């Protein structure tokens, strides 16, 4: 999606169209979550301190982060994707890989499908997206960033030999400014330079990541698009631009995330045995707590009880303001293929019926149509 959070703000407040818009926190530790393309002209970008962004663009309009609204639009976007292929791997709230392998006979060529997806997303959400089409994940991701906003870029095998070598090495997934600086010290500035570099020399200086970088530099990426059903875990986490200062505020967010991942688990036809909670405090210390269940489950109440116990095990002795909270479901298996409880528990049957009803309501009317009362 193109400047997704900012685009949703403009969608909801049309008077902002054409103005530089920043989304994020405005406190002393506030960070830019999204910058409209009008704001980017002034050098504003996501993850930049809000104070710095406003010095670059004093006339920018600042709006607070509204995760619930962005999730609502995101679900509509992903619903479009899933009409074209069941093989959708969400990278974040506003980005995904789609595998169209085998769908050409039914849907036509991939470029035509990309155009239809773009049109459907714009027509059904009012927001634009940029699409990259290629034969592997690395190149599709790279292509999606080449013609923003509202772009559609195809990267062919011929492009791997003609266009890719000329690109800066930072176009390779995982090569940030620090890694690029190290590579520059060895004379590697472009992807072509990386291809020509001596692999043995780089291995002694960069380490085990050398092989991955060289493979990507040649346009080789064997990773498959992985759906929830294929995944080893299902998780969700949120970073807050203003830290959550109370236990109740953190528990409220944790409950929403647990409901979200539980819904995804059931949609994939899976059950889990382990619930893990991830916590990052304002001073960037990260802790994780896990609980293994007595039996595999897909019942939200059971997973929520485990998540709350994990959180309590940390918070009871060391609570501090939280900047990130997440929940992850692990040890997954297909419903019916894992050992469930040996005892027929009426309360579990009741909770399963509740989950089924709430899933149907959310699928039809959106996540915010029904919620649990609270932690």
Active site residues: 95
Residues in the chain, total: 375
Q: Return d(Cα 2, Cα 343) in angstroms, integer.
A: 50
- Return the closest-CA partner of residue 229 out of 266, 268, 261: 268
Alpha helices in 191-274 (DSSP H): 191-196, 199-206, 209-217, 247-267
Angle of CA points 110, 115, 117, to nearest 5°: 90
Cα→Cα distances 69→66, 75, 368, Å: 6, 10, 9
H helix count then E strand count, the chain: 15, 12
Q: Return d(Cα 100, Cα 84) in angstroms, integer.
A: 8
Work out the number of other CB atoms within 10 angstroms of the CB of residue 39: 26
- Return the closest-CA partner of residue 8 out of 49, 90, 47, 64: 64
Torsion of CA 267, 278, 313, 68, to 10 degrees: -60
Sign of the dihedral through C-alpha 335, 340, 343, 349: negative
Work out the number of other CB atoms within 10 angstroms of the CB of residue 352: 18
* DSSP, res 191: H
Alpha helices in 218-345 (DSSP H): 247-267, 300-318
- Return the closest-CA partner of residue 20 out of 49, 1, 45: 45
The answer for residues whose C-beta is within 8 angstroms of residue 151's C-beta and 6 or more apart is 130, 131, 144
Q: Is 274 helix (H, G, I), strand (E, B) or coil?
A: strand
């Amino acid at each position: 999606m193109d400047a997704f959070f900012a685009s949703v703000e403009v969608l909801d407040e049309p008077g902002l169209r054409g103005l530089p818009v920043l989304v994020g926190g405005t406190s002393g530790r506030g960070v830019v979550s999204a910058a409209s393309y009008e704001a980017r002209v002034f050098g504003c970008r996501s993850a930049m301190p809000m104070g710095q962004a406003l010095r670059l663009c004093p006339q920018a309009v600042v709006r607070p982060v509204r995760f619930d609204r962005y999730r609502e639009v995101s679900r509509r976007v992903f619903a479009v994707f899933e009409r074209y292929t069941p093989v959708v791997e969400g990278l974040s709230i506003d980005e995904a890989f789609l595998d169209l392998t085998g769908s050409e006979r039914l849907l036509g060529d991939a470029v035509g499908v990309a155009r239809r997806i773009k049109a459907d997303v714009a027509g059904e959400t009012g927001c634009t997206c940029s699409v990259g089409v290629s034969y592997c994940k690395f190149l599709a991701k790279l292509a999606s960033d080449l013609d923003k906003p509202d772009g559609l870029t195809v990267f062919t095998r011929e492009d791997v030999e003609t266009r890719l070598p000329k690109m800066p090495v930072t176009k390779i997934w995982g090569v940030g400014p620090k890694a690029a600086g190290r590579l520059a010290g060895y004379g590697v500035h472009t992807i072509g330079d990386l291809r020509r570099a001596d692999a043995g020399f780089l291995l002694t200086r960069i380490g085990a990541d050398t092989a991955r970088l060289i493979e990507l530099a040649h346009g080789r990426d064997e990773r498959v698009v992985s759906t929830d059903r294929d995944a080893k875990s299902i998780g969700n986490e949120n970073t807050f631009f203003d830290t959550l200062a109370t236990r109740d505020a953190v528990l409220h967010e944790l409950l929403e995330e647990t409901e979200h991942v539980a819904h995804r688990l059931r949609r994939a036809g899976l059950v889990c045995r382990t619930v893990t909670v991830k916590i990052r405090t304002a001073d960037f210390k990260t802790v994780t707590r896990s609980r293994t269940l007595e039996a595999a489950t897909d019942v939200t109440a059971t997973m929520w009880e485990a998540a709350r116990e994990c959180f309590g095990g940390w918070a009871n002795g060391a609570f501090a303001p939280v900047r990130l909270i997440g929940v992850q479901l692990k040890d997954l298996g297909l419903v019916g293929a894992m050992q469930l409880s040996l005892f027929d528990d009426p309360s579990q049957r009741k909770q399963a019926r509740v989950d089924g009803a709430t899933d149907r309501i959310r699928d039809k009317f959106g996540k915010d149509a029904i919620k649990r009362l609270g932690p």
